[in-house]
């Protein structure tokens, strides 16, 4: 007979025991699963600005456990529901909230453009869009301003017309600072003496660059900072790094693409002229990473000093820096900077730079004064596009003026005797027997010699050939070329 089941006390105890056992078993399974994930996948997970693929909600919970954070808002793991278009999709953290991890099943991968939000994913799934992402120190190209802080409102002798923030806005991604550590304060200045000591706080220069880097549209940008330590004090290296915060690239490996560091939020490479460096802090000896030419260039001379200054030799992973600023009476000059910052001049000097065996390639950092003068940005586009020429260079034989239009020659320029002027390219040499004028065109004889040829009644390149016996000749002219030295009627 089938009837209602009424449990007695013994049965209830067994049911409670069974229920407890099932719950315990479930907990063990979940814990084991989480522990397994923690031992494998979770170890590979990290916080990044953007990911190509979001992880699952369960993996997100395991990640939260592994880093000792709480999921979402109490029991509500999906704090912003399914319409989270202002937050990253999937698992993410908010750096302003250090105790929680969130999961957003909706929205895009990254649409809010808030750098406080970071997605959780594997390193292989990190997304990076921008020029620097797939570039390394040796394959990128950027312009660096010389004495970046040296504007007219801050120093006695200025090299730039605009401050660091404006430089960044224009496209500059390399900055050069002279550092003075005086009485525990870090300052920037340019060739100071008792009459021209006009220091500016170093932290102000840093702040102008950081303010731009903090903008969402620049989240995948890199800057290279060259620090010339003019006067050091206690812990100068460490203190010069501190204002850059967590954006400093630590334990830098020049063979890695910048995306590796961008994913970590590290986007400032600090180099110093000092022999001491601290890779764990994030400051590196410049001559270990950058190969560069000399910088003593008088504007009255056509070319920079291409002589080797410092840096690794024959190292494919080092940056190649071309110092490309000149001086008039030892002072920076805006007018001459406009001339040397012309795209034709930059490309011509870059080709010459690459021909020097110690560099062996185009420069991938060019340091300039008054970046706003001339036309450096077309040159940047050309070099980043691996072009060696502007495209409208002057062909060989075209007359040009030294210091101006000759910089537009496709090849080297020289003085052409046949034109009595400077022209692009090398003047072709004259073959033996070609008439020439002593002191001018005879200087271009291929044989390097010339003389008067009786048969031509003119000076010509080479030596006049002699005439065998029986050859008709003219007395007083071609008979002078008889091989025997004699002639008769």
Fold of domain 142-385: TIM Barrel (3.20.20)
**What does each C-alpha distance from 425 to 82, 397, 399, 416 come to in angstroms?**
68, 6, 10, 9
DSSP summary character for residue 257: -
Whether the predicted pLDDT of 171 surpasses 50: yes
| Least confident window among 55-64, 281-290, 356-365, 380-389 | 55-64
pLDDT of res. 109: 53
d(CA 100, CA 95): 9
Query: Using CB atoms within 10 A of its CB, is residue 401 exposed (0-12), middle (13-18) or buried (19+)?
Result: exposed
Sequence-separated (6 or more) residues with CB below 8 Å from residue 45: 55, 59, 63, 66, 120, 121, 122
How many separate helices (H) and strands (E) can be counted in the chain?
10, 22
d(CA 187, CA 202): 5
For the ranges 114-118, 163-167, 230-234, 274-278, the maximum mean pLDDT occurs at 163-167
pLDDT of res. 78: 52
3-state secondary structure (DSSP) of residue 16: helix
Output 272 or 86, whichever has higher pLDDT. 272
d(CA 75, CA 73): 6
Output 198 or 393, whichever has higher pLDDT. 393
3-state secondary structure (DSSP) of residue 260: helix
What is the band of 349 on the pLDDT scale with cuts at 50, 70, 90? very high
pLDDT of res. 489: 66
Whether the predicted pLDDT of 69 surpasses 50: yes
d(CA 61, CA 77): 9
pLDDT of res. 192: 67
Average pLDDT over residues 159-167: 98
CB neighbours of residue 153 within 10 Å = 8
pLDDT of res. 262: 92
Could you state, in order of their start, the residue ranges of all structural domains in the chain? 42-74+84-122, 142-385, 434-480
Q: What percent of the chain has pLDDT over 90?
A: 58
DSSP summary character for residue 427: P
């Amino acid at each position: 007979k089938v009837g209602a089941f009424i449990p007695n006390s013994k049965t209830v105890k067994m049911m409670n025991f069974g229920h407890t056992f099932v719950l315990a078993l479930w907990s063990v399974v979940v814990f084991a699963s989480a522990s397994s994930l923690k031992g494998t996948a979770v170890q590979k997970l990290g916080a990044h600005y953007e990911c190509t693929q979001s992880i699952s909600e369960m993996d997100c919970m395991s990640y939260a456990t592994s880093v000792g954070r709480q999921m979402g808002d109490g029991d509500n793991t999906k704090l912003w529901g399914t319409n989270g278009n202002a937050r990253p999709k999937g698992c993410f953290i908010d750096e302003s909230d250090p105790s929680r991890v969130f999961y957003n099943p909706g929205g895009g991968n990254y649409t809010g453009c808030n750098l406080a939000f970071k997605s959780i994913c594997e390193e292989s799934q990190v997304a990076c869009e921008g020029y620097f992402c797939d570039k390394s120190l040796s394959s990128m190209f950027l312009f660096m301003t010389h004495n970046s802080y040296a504007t007219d409102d801050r120093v006695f002798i200025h090299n730039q017309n605009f401050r660091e923030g404006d430089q960044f806005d224009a496209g500059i991604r390399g900055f050069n600072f002279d550092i003075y550590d005086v009485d525990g304060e870090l300052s920037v200045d340019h060739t100071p003496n008792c009459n021209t000591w006009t220091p500016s706080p170093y932290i102000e220069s840093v702040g102008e660059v950081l303010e731009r880097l903090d903008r969402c549209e620049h989240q995948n940008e890199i800057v290279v900072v060259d620090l010339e330590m003019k006067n050091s004090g206690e812990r100068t290296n460490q203190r010069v790094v501190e204002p850059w915060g967590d954006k400093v690239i630590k334990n830098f490996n020049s063979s890695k693409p910048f995306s590796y560091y961008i994913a970590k939020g590290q986007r400032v490479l600090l180099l110093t002229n000092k022999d001491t460096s601290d890779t764990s802090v994030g400051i590196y000896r410049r001559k270990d990473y950058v190969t560069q030419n000399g910088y003593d260039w008088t504007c009255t001379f056509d070319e920079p000093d291409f002589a080797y200054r410092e840096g690794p030799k024959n190292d494919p992973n080092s940056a190649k820096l071309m110092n490309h600023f000149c001086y008039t009476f030892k002072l920076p000059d805006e007018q001459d900077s406009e001339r040397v910052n012309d795209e034709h001049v930059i490309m011509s000097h870059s080709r010459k730079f690459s021909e020097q065996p110690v560099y062996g390639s185009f420069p991938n950092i060019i340091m300039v004064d008054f970046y706003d003068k001339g036309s450096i940005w077309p040159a940047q586009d050309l070099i980043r596009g691996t072009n060696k020429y502007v495209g409208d260079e002057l062909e060989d034989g075209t007359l040009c003026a030294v210091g101006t239009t000759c910089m537009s020659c496709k090849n080297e320029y020289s003085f052409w005797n046949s034109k009595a002027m400077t022209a692009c390219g090398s003047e072709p040499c004259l073959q033996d027997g070609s008439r020439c004028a002593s002191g001018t065109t005879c200087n271009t004889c291929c044989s390097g010699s010339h003389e008067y040829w009786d048969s031509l009644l003119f000076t010509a390149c080479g030596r006049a050939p002699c005439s065998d016996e029986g050859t008709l000749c003219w007395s007083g002219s071609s008979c002078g070329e008889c091989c025997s030295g004699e002639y008769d009627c």
